[in-house]
Amino acid sequence: MMGRLVEVDDIHVRYGDLVALRGVSLAVEEGEVVCIIGPNGAGKSTTLAAIAGGVTPEAGAIRIDGRSILGQRPEQIARLGLSLVPEGRHIFGTLTVDENLRIGGYIQRDRTAAKADLERLLELFPRLAERLHYPAGRLSGGEQQMLAVARAVMTRPRLLLVDEPSLGLAPKIIDQIYEILLDLRQRAKLTLLINEQSSNRILKHADRIYVLRGGSMQLEGRAADLQDGEAIRHAYFGFG
Ligand code: ATP
């Protein structure tokens, strides 16, 4: 059944004197692929961090399944079915693919469940299955991004928050990463909230787009209605 999974309502976040978010609102329905686009420093990572409980807004509300999560610790929020793929992947280069994935399964109750999750995951990521005993640092950039996504999926989340998965990857590889993310939506029933700096390759993959600039939402729309890129450019650069 479709329902509102995430609701961010007019949140304000500051780091000391610096105001990072000045009244940001967004909503993600179950099963959607939603992308937040914005330039460097717009507040995209801060928005994901607020949802995941890494930073606490000084005003506003965040609800998961209609219930406020404000003030809850990240591990409590994770238990509601959220998982974050941080910018820069944060994989352990000297550990093998297998070891990196097992680290992701750490909140699993028991070993049997973790093993079953790993097996299921390797079906979704055949490239990683082939490289299970390689040191992760020897994988290509695209494979490392896949590993970061796979690790986040180990805990069977309902919502995956992905911070700039395209960063530093070639266009062809970016498309492959998105194919995997969309496949996960189908097969693992995932809802996706993704940050990107550029709308170039995202418009064809996302259902809805938000444009964030200077800590404020500038635009919201269905990707299908924004295909020519004009409205996004205006919102992104702030002219017009
Ligand atoms: P990027 O693409 O660079 O990750 P972003 O859109 O994700 O950009 P944020 O990382 O959310 O933006 O940063 C928003 C603002 O908050 C920026 O001005 C940034 O310098 C500042 N900021 C982010 N994290 C911190 C922090 N821990 N302490 C102080 N300022 C921070």
**pLDDT tens, 129-186?**
999 999 999 999 999 999 999 888 887 899 999 999 998 888 888 888 898 899 888 8
Write down the pLDDT at residue 172: 87
Measured by CA distance, the residue closest to atom 9 of ligand 1 is 43
**pTM (predicted TM-score):** 0.92
Q: Decide if the complex's ipTM is over 0.85.
A: yes
Q: How far is the CA of 41 from the centre of ligand 1 (A)?
A: 5
Ligand 1 lined by 15 (C-beta under 6 Å): yes
Ligand 1 lined by 199 (C-beta under 6 Å): no
User: Quick one: which atom of ligand 1 is closest to the CA of 45?
Assistant: 7
Q: How far is the CA of 197 from the centre of ligand 1 (A)?
A: 13
Q: Which residues pair with 11 in a beta bridge?
A: 24
Question: Tokens 């290509």 correspond to what residue?
Answer: 140
Strand order in the sheet with 216-222: 82-85, 159-163, 191-196, 33-37, 208-213, 216-222
Write down the pLDDT at residue 8: 98
